[in-house]
Amino acid sequence: MTPTPKTLYVHDDLSDEVAAAHGRDSAAARGVAALLELVARDADRVRILTLEAQLSALAGGGHAPFTVAVGIGRAGERVARQLHARTGWFPRIERVALTREETAAGYALSTLGGPPLDVQLAGVADARSIAVVDDTVFSGLTMMAVLKGLDPGARARARVFCLRAVRESLTDVATVCPASAGFVAAGRLLHDVSFINASGLVRRGAIRRAGQAPLAFYERPEWMRAWFLGDADEVTARCAALARLLGEAW
């Protein structure tokens, strides 16, 4: 059974993207605003995180440009590009394909049909300095896999960056190499704190399943009930309507 977190952090990665694609006065943009307003109605338990606040906090440190930045998946690559635009830290960005998939036995890491992780990382092994970038460090499973996929010498020259993290998981990562996050939440995974992306509520791919089609969060009723309690049905209906409005190609 999915626990209800004491605090649910929802990263707003929908508002700017939909406004840029459809216009700030579009029906799609209004649909996003209505959805986020509804999601935030449980003000004692749900918090909306903005990209601006997280990037600003993460960009506050001073670093010389890294030889290479490894972005974990599309999300990590996107964060690396956003952070580079502010800081100039990542003139070379390489994306590795790695994600968590549901299996009959639980969760497993997958390269989504791409080369094994060690093959993907071979091209950065000799870099003088390495940044490893992701949007979220929640369990730390994917981040630790990438760090352990580097040889010890490369790992010693690495540093981790992410927009948001659970403190316990980030502390574990920091035992391997220095790690920085724009926002850090304390508490037990799932029970005290959970992170989700607003886009995952409506975009298929938020839930990846081995050998099956991906899902959006709104297509997983148990999770929606755990996250949004008495508002779950209304949130789900708004997500479904917005997904139809945006279309499968979005």
| Top-tier CATH class for 59-176 | alpha beta
Note the helical H segments in the chain: 15-22, 27-39, 51-58, 73-87, 117-121, 141-149, 152-156, 167-174, 221-228, 232-246
Q: pLDDT tier at 62 (50, 70, 90 boundaries)?
A: confident
The domain ranges of the chain are 7-51+188-246, 59-176
Q: What confidence tens digit (pLDDT) does each residue in 172-210 have?
A: 999 999 999 999 999 999 999 999 999 999 999 999 999
Q: pLDDT tier at 250 (50, 70, 90 boundaries)?
A: low
Furthest-apart CA atoms within the chain: distance in Å: 53
Q: What confidence tens digit (pLDDT) does each residue in 122-143 have?
A: 999 999 999 999 999 999 999 9
Query: For 66-89, what is the mean pLDDT?
Result: 97
Output the six-digit token pair for 144: 């630790």
How far is C-alpha 61 from the geometric centre of its chain's CA atoms?
21
Cα distance between residue 121 and residue 108, in whole Å: 19
Q: Above 80 in pLDDT, residue 39?
A: yes
227: Cβ contacts below 8 Å, ≥ 6 apart: 4, 5, 8, 194, 196
